[in-house]
Amino acid sequence: MNESHPGRGLGSAIRNLFRSSSPSPPRRRVSRLLRRSRTVVAKHSEEQTARAPGPKSVSPDPDPTAMLGLSETPQSANHDSFDIFEWYPHYQNCQRYFLDHAQHSTPVQAVSAYVNILLPFQRQPYPAHNASSGPLSSTADGITPESSSTSNALPPPVSLLPYIRRLVATGMDYPGMLHGFFGDDWQAGVGPLHEKERCNYLLAARSGGWGVVKSEYDISPLETIPFLRPLQGPLEEEFVAAYKSWSEWLLLRDWEFGPRAPDGLQDSSSQSSRPQSARE
């Protein structure tokens, strides 16, 4: 593996890891489909809205070749119809799939080892082997797993965000990879978080140099990120959203928001929050 060229080494490693007998699609077609797969959609489809929030019926082992393939268009958290309470059951489905199936599959273990991040079942002293692992409770002797019958109702408190961040920063957040990690419901479950993390990565790159950005994506002390790659397959909409977020941050830094916002930048909410005397 050529460590002096992480991008080149990454492509070689992934090709060798997920090599199959079927021919790979042309690079130009993959690039076009990758960009299309990240197009922002207006709202959830009626079929996804009517989908039951219970656990999915999924195969225990993701297809290694499919992890490098392309999936459908991800959901967007930017549109006005985004509902956090509708989103949460989908996120729980992704947690269950990741804990019960993905983390025990060879492809996900190989990718996680390559980008140097531990899976939940590898974390000591309290590994999470599956979604039925009970939450932790405090006792006089320390912290022990909860043994009540209600402990299996929800997945254990394992955040998916560190894994989304690691895939984004290493340029491995392909739709097929996200599907392999988080299951069939990844678009509605982790799609909004993935979209935000891509924006955050752009902002991090703009706010500091390579060393600063790397330190933000390191997980100390042992899970440091081995390499960084530029954002893969960016769309113009992502640059526009990141630029807007950057501008809002500059206004916040200079205390130019709410009643102090520059003329033309005050929205209706900031106007309504102003004191009555300031609006007269």
Does residue 153 sit in the same domain as residue 187? yes
Considering 5-9, 51-55, 262-266, the range whose residues carry the highest mean pLDDT is 262-266
Q: What confidence score (pLDDT) does residue 62 get?
A: 64
* pLDDT, average across residues 176-191: 97
pLDDT digits (tens, 9 = 90+) for 95-118: 999 999 999 999 999 999 999 999
pLDDT, tens digit, 9 for 90 and up, residues 29-42:
434 444 444 443 33
* Residues 68 and 180 reside in one and the same domain: yes
Spatial separation of the C-alpha atoms in residues 190 and 42, rounded to whole Å: 17
Co-location of 84 and 206 in the same domain: yes
Considering the domain architecture, whether residues 121 and 256 belong to the same structural domain is answered as: no
Range(s) of the domain holding residue 169:
6-229
Is residue 64 in a domain? yes
Cβ within 8 Å of residue 224, ≥6 positions away: 116, 214, 218
Condensed to tens digits (0 to 9), the pLDDT of residues 232-280 reads: 999 999 999 999 999 999 999 899 988 888 876 655 444 444 444 344 4
The string of pLDDT tens digits covering residues 116-169 is 999 999 998 889 999 986 544 434 444 444 444 444 456 568 999 999 999 999
Q: Is the peptide bond before 221 cis (omega within 30 degrees of 0)?
A: yes
Residues 104 and 40 grouped into a single domain: yes
| 196 shares its domain with 263 | no
- pTM for this one? 0.66
| Residue 79 shares a structural domain with residue 171 | yes
Cα Rg for the chain, rounded, in angstroms? 21
Residue 58's Cβ-count burial label (10 Å; 0-12, 13-18, 19+) is middle
**Residue 1 falls inside a structural domain:** no
| Rounded distance between C-alpha atoms, residue 70 and residue 72, angstroms | 7
Give the pLDDT mean for 207-229.
94
Q: Give me the pLDDT at residue 208, please.
A: 87
Q: Are strands 142-145 and 136-139 parallel, antiparallel or unpaired?
A: antiparallel
